[in-house]
Structure formats: structure tokens, C-alpha cells
Amino acid sequence: MKDPRQKRLAELLVNFSTKVKSGDKVLISNWNAEVPFVKEIVNAVYAAGGLPFVNLFDRELERTLLLGATEEQMKLRAKHELEQMKDMDCYIGFTSLRNASAWKDVSQDKLDLYQKVLFHTVHSKQRVPHTRWVVLRYPSPAMAQAADKSEEAFEDWFYDVCTLDYPKMSRAMDPLVALMERTDRVRIVSPGTDLSFSIKGLPAIKCDGGRNIPDGEVYTAPVKDSVNGVLSYNTPSLRDGFTFEGVRLEFKDGKIVKATCNDDARINQILDTDSGARYIGEFAIGVNPYILDPMKETLFDEKIAGSFHFTPGNSYPYCDNGNHSAVHWDMVQIQRPEWGGGEIWFDDVLVRKDGLFVVEELLGLNPENLMK
């Protein structure tokens, strides 16, 4: 039996997020095949007058390929996938998580090859700046387990999160965008964190359903060499099958000069990927009222209400602070009281305390107002 929520979500992706119009070529990319939902997206693209194309991937198969991959092989694959992406106007990509640790035993050298040669070439340099794109996750038993929910309860929550009133959220974000764009100095204080940087002259971008589903953040980037202090993330971060915990970064003049966690060697190898990996490409404030706890899935965790993320690596072309890297690693700190609290200051004015906005024009972004 068809789930009508699938059709509603597919139409949101096609008509709201990517705004498919007649004649648009749309690449639908699905990891771990969820064919019924892919079909709903295909139908929605046709209904909008677009031309759908489909790529299906499998993470276990990809693991097998990566274990023996060579640089020549990866460059050839990147060449072909890049040509396909160049032909597309829109991109809708989603994953159905089965095993978060599927790539845990793939060597870091092979993972770097995948990121630098394939993903960076096809997605960071082509898809992100040159298509109308949206990415999302699809509910699965593994995701329900990660969220500590039953499968039915997780699905209900998932559709609430993913199909919330994005136009309302978008309007509530406008004052935060305006405030960030007239701000110079930012200071963040919380347990284990005292961080200062400038965002002067850099745009603030609202993420209101147009790039990620679920969505709910406003991001900018720090002036590249302005970051100083220490930052302790208080949520786990899953990357390439390994869960990083207790990540602590020390900054001097923009650069991460010391990084520690539950595997110091592993985190420093990632941060040594290239010259941009030790600088920050994004600073973002999370506001999705339905997402409260981390589940080691970045697409959800970075939108947690009362959180922020501070991202080593590549900056987005919409807010380019000059830092470019094959790495873009969103790691999250939650500042609600049950997570230790914290404060965000803009130009010596307290903007958010313990996860709630305290400036009059920003009160509409607090959960109680977004959920009304």
C-alpha cells in the first residue's frame, strides 16, 4: 500500500526545494535503493514537466569498490560522473541508512581518494554551485535505532520534521539574516568553549527547505584568519564509519593548531587532508524545533534547535570566505541547558542564551513559536 506521505514529500522536493520547471533535467540519486520513493520523485518530476534521470548506489557495493580503488580508476569515474552532472539542471539525492559503520574498515587513504578525486570534483565543484539541489535521508530501521525510537514512531517523527511549515520558518529567519550581515564580532561561550571570530562582510544564508530536507539553519562563514580560542563539541560525529567523540579544537589566527578526541591520530589525518582542512568554512545556527537530540546523522544533527555547528574545511560558494578544501565536516554543539548551556554574542550583545534567542526580533525562531 502506498504511503501518501511519500508523495507529499516527493512533491515538496520537486516543487519547493528544487523548483523543477518544464524541460529541466533532474538527476535523482539514491543510496541503498528505496525504489517506491524514487518512483514518487520520478512521477513528481514528470508532473512538473521535467526529465528525470536515476542513479542507484549501494554502500556495501561501494565499500568493495573502494577497498581496491586506484587513483586512475577514481579519476576516470569522476570524469564520467562529472559529465553527467554538467548536463543536469537539478539534483535530488537521498540515502536510506542501513549500517552507519559500513565503511569503517576502509583505509583513510582510500576515503581521501573518494573525497578528493570523486566527491569534490563532481559535487563540491559542479553540483553545489551549478545545479538546484536538495539532499535528504529516508527513514529506515537503522535510523530509527540511531534515534532511539520504534520504526513507526520514527517514521511519524520523520515526516513531521521533513514537511514542517518551511515558508513560516523562512520568514522567521529573515531578522537573523539581517542581524548576522551587520555583525562583525562573534563570541561563543559554553563549557569547554571560549571562541571568538569575525563574520564581517560575509553573507548570511537561510536554509529553509531549499537545499536540505529536513532543514532549519542560518549559516555564514568566519573571516578566514579571525578565529581564536577553543571549541569543545558535545555531540558525537559519525564520519566514514567512525564515531568521533569529545572533539576539542584549539584555534590561532583561523587555523586549528591542536585537535584531540577519542582518536587523535584519525582526526589529525583528516585535518591534514589539504591546506584548507584546518581552517573553518562555515558557522551556522540550528533552529529546527522538531530536532532536539543527536542521532549521528549530520543532515539532522546540524539543524538541532539550540545548536550551532562550526565546520572545518570548504566554504560554500554562496558564502565564500576564501577557504577551499576537499573536507567539509559539520560538527555540532548543543547549548540548551540539559547539554550544559551556553551563550552566543554578536558585537558584545547577547543574542542567544541556553539555546533560546533573547533578542526581540529573533523570538520567532524559538521552538514554541515555530511550532504554533
Q: What is the mean pLDDT of the chain?
A: 94
Does residue 372 carry a pLDDT above 80? no
Mean pLDDT over 339-348 rounds to 98
Burial profile 75-88: b = 16 or more Cβ within 10 angstroms, e = fewer:
eebbeebbeebeeb
| pLDDT on residue 258 | 98
pLDDT at 62 over 90: yes
The predicted pLDDT at position 101 comes to: 82
Residues 336, 244: one domain? yes
Choose one of 127, 162, 197: the last residue of a domain: 162
Residues 235 and 366 in one domain: yes
Q: What pLDDT, on the 0 to 100 scale, is given for residue 21?
A: 97
Q: Same domain for 19 and 135?
A: yes
Indicate whether 241 and 144 sit together in one domain.
Answer: no
Domain count for the chain: 2
Q: The domain that contains 45 carries what CATH number? A: 3.40.1830.10
Q: Are 18 and 134 in contact (CB under 8 A)?
A: yes
Exposed, middle or buried: residue 368 (CB in 10 Å: 0-12, 13-18, 19+)?
exposed
If asked whether residues 226 and 336 sit together in one domain, one would say yes
Same domain, 295 and 151: no
Considering only CA atoms, give the Rg of the chain: 20
Q: What is the mean pLDDT of residues 355-364?
A: 97
- Model-level pTM? 0.81
Long-range contacts of 253-262 (CB under 8 A, 24+ apart): 253/225, 253/226, 253/227, 253/228, 254/197, 254/222, 254/223, 254/224, 254/225, 254/226, 254/227, 254/279, 254/280, 255/225, 255/227, 255/279, 256/312
What tens digit of pLDDT does each residue of 92-114 get?
Answer: 999 888 887 888 899 989 998 99
Residue 251 φ/ψ, nearest 5 degrees: -120, 145
139 and 208 in a single domain? The answer is no
pLDDT category at 142 given cuts 50, 70, 90 is confident
The reply to whether 64 and 205 lie within a common domain is no
Q: Domain residues for 364?
A: 166-370
Does one domain contain both 212 and 338?
yes
pLDDT of 291 reads: 93
5-34 mean pLDDT: 94
Is residue 127 located within the same domain as residue 188? no
Least confident stretch, 125-139, 171-185, 327-341: 125-139
Same domain? 176 vs 243: yes
Q: Which of 162, 195, 211 represents a domain boundary (last residue)? A: 162
What pLDDT digit, counting tens, does each position of 243-262 carry? Answer: 999 999 999 999 999 999 99
pLDDT grade for 1, boundaries at 50, 70 and 90: low
Q: Are residues 147 and 255 in the same domain?
A: no
Per-residue pLDDT reduced to its tens digit, 252-291: 999 999 999 999 999 999 999 999 999 999 999 999 999 9
d(CA 189, CA 287): 18
The pLDDT of residue 161 is above 90: no
Residue 67 confidence (pLDDT): 95
Q: Is the pLDDT of residue 130 over 70?
A: yes
Domain boundary at 135, 162, 189, which? 162
Which residue in the block uniquely carries the three cell numbers 584549539? 250
